[in-house]
Structure 1
Amino acid sequence: MIGWEDVYKVVVAMAPLYFALILGFGSVRWWHIFTPEQCGAINRFVCFFTLPLFTFEFTAHVDPFEWNYRFIAADAISKLIIVVVLAFWAKCSSKGSYSWSITSFSLCTLTNSLVVGVPLMKAMYGPMAVDLVVQSSVVQAIVWLTVLLFVLEFRRTGLDISSGSSNDTRVQSVEQGGKDLDGTNESTLASPSYYYWSLMKGVWLKLGMNPNSYAVFVGIAWAFIANRWHIELPSIMEGSVLIMSKAGTGTAMFSMGIFMALQEKFVACGTSLAIIGMILRFTAGPAAMAIGSIAVGLHGDVLRVAIIQAALPQSITSFIYAKEYGLHAEVLSTAVIFGMMVSLPVLIAYFAVLEFVH
């Protein structure tokens, strides 16, 4: 049972995040330390340096040979359910869109497992729950954040090609009915297959230059090697990674504070979208996880942990990616900030209700 001491531990884990957030907000809104251009540079620093090193550090220290693969399968099924529903909505609904499907996927599935999940789950169900939450976080980094990164890059590269900013294509020729500026017929350039391969080439080239796309794979590869042959990362490498990775969560929250300060309103996305985001965060993910868990036969405390960890607050990484790729960052920032505020009573309510589930 959760006591006041356990609640205090969770609050202690969350308070430093808001401290970093307030510092970022104040540095722009109150003290005018950074210009908008410098704010963009700070977000890119977080995205391309502290975040991938943070991801590598926690991934490299897990033991994949001890994972609960039935739990991981339930998580995969739940994510696929969300993907199918969003794809159907985007294709069949007049209000559906590819861009909002990406954002909705983030809101429904991507959680802040390590900062909030670990202390709360330890209080609820003990070390077993902590192991499951860490497993979920690693799989999220390996699979789902990588998928998110790919579709965001795919979207941005497609927009670049369509606007004529990409060097893999000559859009002006296509817009002129297959005629180049010098009158040469360029209808090969205008074919769908050429556009597709130009798009994919651009996506893979950009992902190859983004350390987030491979940091997690290097980390999990090292985890397999280290646990198979019982070796440790050389201390000089460990120290080099730690000095940057320890700043990962703090600098991400600092960047979010900066982003908030640049907006005209505190709830930048508006009240309606904020409410929708909270509903998706705390209901859609757990509901899909319940279906996936039942499908693979989870029961008891493992089932309870699976559902509750799916209701953890929004992933900070999802905001950093949204800001970098210019897709509904205001929605994700609101989800992170208010999600952490309301998560404790919501998660305790889930805990109380699930005590009646056998």
Structure 2
Amino acid sequence: MISWKTIYHVLEETVPLYVAMILAYLSIKWWKLFTPEQCSGVNKFVAKFSIPLLSFQVLSTNNPYDMNLKLILSDAIQKSLALLVFAVISRACCMEKFDWLITCFSLSTLPNTLIVGIPLLKGMYGDEAVKLISQIVALQSLIWWQIQLPLIVSNSIRILSDGGLGMAMFSLGLFTALQTKIIACGTKKTLLSLGIRFLLGPALMVISSYAVGMRGTLLKVAIIQAALPQGIVPFVFAKEYNVHADILSTAIIVGMMAAVPVALGYYVVVDHPRPRL
């Protein structure tokens, strides 16, 4: 059974994120502190400064020579499998083939690793999980390196990047409060998106991880990170190019609500296998 200590460590890392999101939601719905124009300014600050600098801070401290080859291969195989599966399905069943291919690929392979994954998995597996998660973030970027920046530059970046997690969650809370309804795409599409996010994505990661021989903590971290809620960045691009933004926004909002229970459920399954008879 999962220990109360582990649950506490997970909550210790994740509850502050939800506090930021709830405060933002209440600031719109109850306290009327922000206008839609001001919310747009907050969102732009997060998109242009907080998240890019947070990503840079993670990437700049990652050493590509220490990256785990099996983790790289499993991540690449998972995305390749998802692309192949949804290319076939969208070609056979969907009118807007390319739009659905992009949406389903995003749902199955692009979790909220940076904002939710790092604190959540840190509570489960400690700093080693953070190192592995940082490698996955690096894999989704074009350039990564380990670089020792001058202290004046490092501190300038750190001041803004340290608030990246909180500001991203605050921005999500503002976005949620501005919606007329939380489930914007209907019940059927919501259930489909959650199934792809929390079931199919981890299943593809299990297949790809076993295919490259991953075992132990590395395997567990890979599976649980694949079951994290939907990433925010794909929604930003979906909204920009009008590609099923309603589905991705619903997946983010509902997924954030279910993130901790789902992650703890996967933690129980992968970290506490049933004894053999």
Into which bin does the TM-score normalised by the smaller protein fall? Answer: 0.7 to 0.9
* Inter-CA distance 243–321: structure 2 relative to 1 (3 Å threshold): farther
* Equivalence for 1:293: 209
1:239 maps to amino acid: N
Q: CA deviation at 1:252?
A: 1.9
| CA deviation string 1:60-98 (max 9, x = no partner) | 112222111111111110011111122222322235532
* Inter-CA distance 246–129: structure 2 relative to 1 (3 Å threshold): closer
Higher-Rg member (1/2): 1
- 1:97-108 paired onto structure 2 within 5 Å: 97-108=97-108
Distance 1:312 1:250 in 2: 18
Of 270-279 and 75-84, deviating more is: 270-279
- 1:82-231 paired onto structure 2 within 5 Å: 82-95=82-95, 97-122=97-122, 124-125=124-125, 127-140=127-140, 142=141, 217=143, 220-221=144-145, 223=146, 226=147
* Equivalence for 1:343: 259
User: Given that residues 59 and 134 in structure 2 are in contact (C-alpha distance below 8 angstroms), is that contact kept between their aligned partners in structure 1?
Assistant: no
Distance 2:167 2:218 in 1: 33
User: Given that residues 232 and 252 in structure 2 are in contact (C-alpha distance below 8 angstroms), is that contact kept between their aligned partners in structure 1?
Assistant: yes
* Inter-CA distance 89–319: structure 2 relative to 1 (3 Å threshold): same
2:161 maps to amino acid: S
* Equivalence for 1:51: 51
User: Given that residues 190 and 247 in structure 2 are in contact (C-alpha distance below 8 angstroms), is that contact kept between their aligned partners in structure 1?
Assistant: yes
- 1:298-313 paired onto structure 2 within 5 Å: 298-313=214-229
- Give the percent of matched residue pairs that are identical in Structure 1 and Structure 2: 45
Q: CA deviation at 1:128?
A: 4.2
* Equivalence for 2:175: 259
* Inter-CA distance 347–38: structure 2 relative to 1 (3 Å threshold): closer
SS in 2 for 1:111: coil
* Equivalence for 1:274: 190
Q: CA deviation at 1:22?
A: 2.3
User: Given that residues 6 and 123 in structure 1 are in contact (C-alpha distance below 8 angstroms), is that contact kept between their aligned partners in structure 2?
Assistant: yes
Distance 1:12 1:291 in 2: 31
The match for 1:319 among 214, 231, 235 is 235
Distance 1:30 1:23 in 2: 10
User: Given that residues 55 and 114 in structure 2 are in contact (C-alpha distance below 8 angstroms), is that contact kept between their aligned partners in structure 1?
Assistant: no
User: Given that residues 260 and 268 in structure 1 are in contact (C-alpha distance below 8 angstroms), is that contact kept between their aligned partners in structure 2?
Assistant: no
Q: CA deviation at 1:40?
A: 2.8
* Inter-CA distance 258–300: structure 2 relative to 1 (3 Å threshold): closer
Q: CA deviation at 1:124?
A: 4.5
* Equivalence for 2:162: 246
Q: CA deviation at 1:282?
A: 1.0
Of 66-75 and 299-308, deviating more is: 299-308
- Ranges in structure 1 where 5+ consecutive residues have no aligned partner: 144-216, 227-231
* Equivalence for 1:23: 23
Of 87-96 and 253-262, deviating more is: 87-96
Distance 2:115 2:43 in 1: 20
Q: CA deviation at 1:20?
A: 2.0
2:43 maps to amino acid: N
1:70 maps to amino acid: K
* Inter-CA distance 346–23: structure 2 relative to 1 (3 Å threshold): closer
Distance 2:119 2:172 in 1: 23
* Inter-CA distance 124–45: structure 2 relative to 1 (3 Å threshold): closer
Query: Normalized against structure 2, the TM-score is what?
Result: 0.86
2:82 maps to amino acid: I
The match for 2:152 among 222, 229, 236 is 236
| Count of paired positions | 274
* Inter-CA distance 61–334: structure 2 relative to 1 (3 Å threshold): same
2:66 maps to amino acid: E
2:182 maps to amino acid: F
Q: CA deviation at 1:242?
A: 1.5
Query: Normalized against structure 1, the TM-score is what?
Result: 0.68
Q: CA deviation at 1:316?
A: 3.1
- Ranges in structure 2 where 5+ consecutive residues have no aligned partner: none
| CA deviation string 1:313-358 (max 9, x = no partner) | 2223333444444444443333233323323333333333334499
* Equivalence for 1:163: none
